[in-house]
Amino acid sequence: MVPEKINNSNLPENTRKTQVEQAQVSREIKPAPPRYRNELAKYIINRSDACIHCGKCAEVCPQGVHVLKPGYKLFAAPRLNVCVGPSCQNTDRYCVDLCPQKALRMVENPMMKVLGDYRWTPDLILSTWKMAETGSAPPKEFGYEREFGNSGGGFDRLKIKFPAKAPLEVKPEEVDTTLELNRRNDGRPQIKLDVPWYGGGMSFGSVSNVTQLSKARAAVAFNTFTCTGEGGYMERLRPYDDHTITQVATGLFGVREETIQRVRIIEFKYAQGAKPGLGGHLLADKVTPSVARMRETVLGISLFSPFPFHSVYSIEDHQKHMDWIKHINRHALISAKVSTPTDVDMVAVGSHSAGAHIVHIDGGYGGTGAAPDIAKKNIAMPVEYGIVKVHDFLTREGVRDKVTLIASGGLRNAYDIAKAIALGADGVVVGTAELVALGCLRCARCESGRGCPRGIATTDPKLQEQLTVEWGSQRIINLYNAWRNDLVDILVKLGLRSISELRGRTDLLMHMDYTNDMEPKK
Amino acid sequence: MPDKYHIKTKPVPARRPKIGKVGIVDWREDCAGCRNCVKKACVFDRYRQEAEYIRNMSDMDSIFFQCMGCFSCVQQCTKGLLALSENPVYDRLGNRYWTPAIIETTWNQAETAKIPVSGAGYRGRFTGPGFDSMWTDMSEIVRPTRDGIHGREYISTAVDIGRKPAVLHFNSLSDISNFPLITIAMPLVIDLMPQGYKLSNVIKFCKSLAVQTGILIIVDYRDLELLGNDLDNSLANLILYIDRGAHLPPHSLLKRIRMVEIGDDDQIDKRIRDIKAINQDIIVAIRVEMGADGVARAKELGQKKNIEVLHLVADMNGDQIGVAQPRFIKDMVREVHNFLINRGIRNEITIIAGGGIALAEHMAKQIICGADLVGINLPLLIALECVLCNECNDGVHCPVDVGNVKESYGVGRMVNLVAAWHDQLIEVMGAMGMREVRRLRGEVGRALFFEELEEATFGKLFGTRKN
């Protein structure tokens, strides 16, 4: 569907002057191989001195793990990341058994103990990398646990109840994964995304240009959105105006009439899951000339984003806020991004009544940026509770179908997206997973020294060079594609024709810590 | 604007190499000699530091483990010779409650006095036992602050210790209160070190810490000489602990201090009378060990008119003492707190809760669960790079030689830790929209409890929670 264009003639000349031709990005899936020489693998194969270099292993392995280059006597380093691991034993091509010298030994890579954490297990990281590489889910033989993390609660204990046979036969190509963002019927454009998610806000400075552009290009390819984060509208994002959300956060950095008028969605960030209830603080030495120019501030002076908006102390103030933006851009949809306090349900209803099209709740366990550890762990509730609370309350208030509920905060894969929607959200926002696609492994050093050692969340020119926009966009496009396939697969198995039919279907979920003996909701 | 409570800090470097979580395993043989060594490219410059360190190594039992775990070298080495592994030394730190992560963050705070910050979202478990089964709340549009509009610089962390009678009693027109009150700037007292963790110099550092930060320190009367000769400067910060059955300190001393704590037994009424007879302006706290009948005893004492302060103490892991299925300190204190609320007398006494307070967030959470302030001990010891080997006493070999550290180091590290905790308390209170820590007490409306949230959301959808 062609997005409804802003009527340019209505825009002031200053803004019109800055508009450029919009970029087109193809959704084509192309392999985007890992950018490191030694890719991390779940299993490693040791070759002992007994090897006589007969080449049998290279001959039998269907994946091409063992590499004996022509003209070479010795084996090159094995391509362990394509090895499927012990599940190969069930085939007749298991190199370890077939080696005439019994020179091979397969063990679980001990480095897996250091990789990842409870929420992003090594399996989730590796499978996300595979999806970003190939554009589809890694084959079952790899044995990755792709659905659950290891946090022991929330999404990791919720399971989708797949019926033995789907109640309705749906063909994969008929499944509708689109998400409608404007449910207010207020004359503003109907914006429809091809997938039920969009990219989270990561500001200029917190991530590299390459990261921001890669996200933007993937958003174009999948007809969805990315978000500027607080910190201004990067000039290089202009070709992606139609798929960019301008964030208005408490510091109002880089917010100008022009940046509000050029986009189709404007997001008010009241709070964020990474540090609910706390403001932001950009340290003085990170306020480089380009950051200062973008944020319209003074070089080398540290910048505070206060909490909360000091112009908003009530829903009425909130409405005033939105009216102001709605007046400046008469075609934009408004999103209110809030975190998950105990009364998040009230906040959501309040936001709706103040005129928001999208209520975006960002749970306490989310976030990609640097934040105080005490806030990441302790403040505000996990989004799993928030979704149920808000969905129920909006329903009881009779406005559930007038607002788009977006959830975020710790969603890692298509299963989490499906679970969030089944709990009651309309769609989700993802952040960390996109960074993982670019090679993040959550070492959590985003803020130390020169910034991200993997070149993703840094402005250090040398470190940034590690990835290119082309590669980065392809990785995210591939990941999106794999997710969409997964979602379609989930819907087909459930016998649902569209993702919107899944919303609020808690009867399709079970919780592994509960008896699950409730009467199904009528 | 009145003077702000501010703790002066400066970085105090560690004495020993840090024990990090990740170590680099490096096979030097089989190196291709490609000269593209990724070690030079380490973003954190760790390899050069390591070489430097090994050159100057004076202490053979220490290992260099400061790898940040980014895997960059592992993934870029031409021959794939490098690997990361878990550091077994890190893994063995502490115990099940005092986890390596807690010890590591305490070390960092003691060094830098800064709030620990990291990227990439929350990494831990969804929930857990003890303090991990609750979250603190935050303010949002409909109610940006609980206490009205204010900046963070106006958040007060001061608390009062003592008895606050519900009604005033007039002895004469000028004498309207018969109970003394101490106000301290932070809801924290330094408790006695648990058995097995008593070191004479640590007590001295704690005393200086109390004086510098304006908090109070509980010192066993029998250990008083350890504080040195300049006792006069610290009398205002001293809570003298008098054990069950121990002789009362000399009158001359009791007349000069503001607060004592006595061990709980059936003689406490007489003890309080005796002490007040010597100095009626002294505050007497009762130390109640939270054993099998600790909660019942605390409730009983809480109703007595002569009790000013209850100090409820669990074991060092926050568990009930000497029971097979121990309850956690926050739940026990919450029960006592609620009981006194229902009797309408909660405001009359002060509750100090101790045991298991390991992180700044525990301080806030314990106060939400009904304590006025908390007592800590082990975190201060960990600030001195203690590894909690649990074998320390004067004269016993200490693996990190805590007994011989310099005063500037010891006090500096402790002050840094307390300052970092204070800043973190302000952070969570700012998020909650609370302006005063006094009003945080028992404010469960500003917290979210795992059991309640589960019941209200998933219980409704999925039936009964198993076990």
Query: Token match 């319209």: residue?
Result: A296
pLDDT at A458: 84
B88 and B220 in a common domain: no
Candidate from B70, B123, B126 with C-beta closest to A154: B126
Is residue B355 domain-resident? yes
For A152, name the nearest residue in chain B, comparing CA atoms only. Answer: B126
**A514 with B86: Cβ contact below 8 A:** no
CB contact set of B242 (below 8 Å; sequence gap of 6+): B221, B248, B249, B260, B261, B262, B263, B271
Question: Between residues 117 and 156 of chain B, which touch chain A (CB distance below 8 Å)?
Answer: 117-127, 135-145, 149
Residue A187 CA to residue A330 CA, distance in Å, equals 10
Q: Touching check for B76 and chain A: CB below 8 Å?
A: yes
Q: Say if residues A347 and A341 touch (Cβ distance below 8 Å).
A: yes
B82 and B167 in a common domain: no
Q: Say if residues B420 and B115 touch (Cβ distance below 8 Å).
A: yes
Angle, CA of B49, B50 and B55, to the nearest 5°: 100
Is residue B249 domain-resident? yes
Min Cα–Cα distance to chain A from B80, Å: 6
Q: Touching check for B37 and chain A: CB below 8 Å?
A: no
Number of domains in chain B: 2
B166 and B80 in a common domain: no
pLDDT lower than 70: segments of chain A? 1-9, 448-449, 520-522
B82 and B156 in a common domain: no
Question: Between residues 68 and 97 of chain A, which touch chain B (CB distance below 8 Å)?
Answer: 77
pTM given for the model: 0.94
Candidate from B68, B424, B459 with C-beta closest to A374: B424
Q: Say if residues A348 and A390 touch (Cβ distance below 8 Å).
A: yes
**A271 with B140: Cβ contact below 8 A:** yes
Q: Touching check for A380 and chain B: CB below 8 Å?
A: yes
Q: Touching check for B69 and chain A: CB below 8 Å?
A: yes
Residue B442 structure tokens? 């028992």
Residue B428 CA to residue B146 CA, distance in Å, equals 13
First to last CA, chain A: 35
Residue A432 CA to residue A419 CA, distance in Å, equals 18
Residue B419 CA to residue B413 CA, distance in Å, equals 10
Residue A398 CA to residue A430 CA, distance in Å, equals 28
**A120 with B118: Cβ contact below 8 A:** no
Min Cα–Cα distance to chain B from A476, Å: 18
Q: Is B10 exposed, middle or buried (0-12, 13-18, 19+ CB in 10 A)?
A: exposed
Q: Touching check for A160 and chain B: CB below 8 Å?
A: no
Amino acid letter at A77? Answer: A
**B43 with A307: Cβ contact below 8 A:** no
Task: Tell me the domains of chain A and their CATH numbers.
Answer: 8-27+171-511 (3.20.20.70), 41-114 (3.30.70.20)
Candidate from B126, B433, B463 with C-beta closest to A516: B463
**Final residue before a domain boundary, out of B40, B68, B92:** B92
Q: Touching check for A168 and chain B: CB below 8 Å?
A: no
Is residue B59 domain-resident? yes
pLDDT at A4: 47
Min Cα–Cα distance to chain A from B153, Å: 12
Is residue B160 domain-resident? yes
B216 and B80 in a common domain: no
Q: Touching check for A320 and chain B: CB below 8 Å?
A: no
Contacts of B81 in chain A (CB under 8 A): none
pLDDT at A8: 61
Candidate from A77, A157, A344 with C-beta closest to B140: A344
Residue A487 CA to residue A195 CA, distance in Å, equals 9
B371 and B255 in a common domain: yes
pLDDT at B2: 59
Beta strands per DSSP E along A158-240? 158-160, 179-180, 192-193, 197-199, 226-227
Per-residue confidence in pLDDT tens, chain B, 467 aa: 457 788 999 999 999 888 888 887 776 677 888 888 888 888 888 888 888 877 776 665 556 678 888 999 999 988 888 889 888 889 889 999 999 999 999 999 999 999 998 888 899 999 999 999 999 998 876 555 555 555 677 889 999 999 988 877 776 666 665 689 999 999 999 999 887 777 888 999 999 999 999 999 999 999 888 888 778 889 999 999 999 999 999 999 999 999 999 999 999 999 999 999 999 999 999 999 999 999 999 999 999 999 999 999 999 999 999 999 999 999 999 999 999 999 999 999 999 999 999 999 999 999 999 999 999 999 999 999 998 887 777 777 888 888 889 999 999 999 999 999 999 999 899 888 888 999 999 999 899 999 999 999 999 999 999 87
B368 and B263 in a common domain: yes
**Final residue before a domain boundary, out of B72, B92, B112:** B92
What are the C-alpha distances in Å from B210 to residues B8, B219, B236, B350, B372? 13, 11, 10, 19, 18
Residue A221 CA to residue A513 CA, distance in Å, equals 39
For A339, name the nearest residue in chain B, comparing CA atoms only. Answer: B140
| Chains A–B, number of C-beta pairs less than 8 Å apart | 270
**B432 with A443: Cβ contact below 8 A:** no
**Best of B109, B140, B143, B150 to mutate (most A CBs within 10 Å, chain A):** B140
Min Cα–Cα distance to chain B from A10, Å: 32
B85 and B176 in a common domain: no
Candidate from A118, A156, A517 with C-beta closest to B124: A118
Candidate from B115, B123, B126 with C-beta closest to A382: B126
B59 and B165 in a common domain: no
Is residue B252 domain-resident? yes
Is residue B3 domain-resident? no
pLDDT at A521: 52
pLDDT at A1: 39
Candidate from B70, B457, B463 with C-beta closest to A515: B463
For A444, name the nearest residue in chain B, comparing CA atoms only. Answer: B119
Question: Between residues 390 and 429 of chain B, which touch chain A (CB distance below 8 Å)?
Answer: 424, 427-428
For A442, name the nearest residue in chain B, comparing CA atoms only. Answer: B120
pLDDT at A336: 95
**Best of A378, A391, A440, A458 to mutate (most B CBs within 10 Å, chain B):** A378
Candidate from A40, A446, A509 with C-beta closest to B120: A446
Q: Is B28 exposed, middle or buried (0-12, 13-18, 19+ CB in 10 A)?
A: exposed
Residue A389 structure tokens? 């609370």
**Final residue before a domain boundary, out of B65, B92, B119:** B92
Angle between helices A469-494 and A122-134 (to 10 degrees): 110
Is residue B15 domain-resident? no
B54 and B203 in a common domain: no
What range defines the domain where residue B447 resides? 152-454
B167 and B79 in a common domain: no
B261 and B164 in a common domain: yes
Candidate from B79, B120, B459 with C-beta closest to A442: B120
Is residue B343 domain-resident? yes
The CATH code of the domain that includes B234 is: 3.20.20.70
Q: Touching check for A278 and chain B: CB below 8 Å?
A: yes
**B70 with A443: Cβ contact below 8 A:** yes
Alpha carbon dihedral B100, B104, B105, B110, in 10-degree steps, equals 140
Question: Between residues 242 and 261 of chain B, which touch chain A (CB distance below 8 Å)?
Answer: none
CB contact set of A195 (below 8 Å; sequence gap of 6+): A177, A178, A179, A222, A223, A224, A480, A483, A484, A487
What Rg do the C-alpha atoms of chain A give, in angstroms? 24
- The predicted-structure confidence for B433-461, as pLDDT tens digits, reads as follows 888 999 999 999 899 999 999 999 999 99
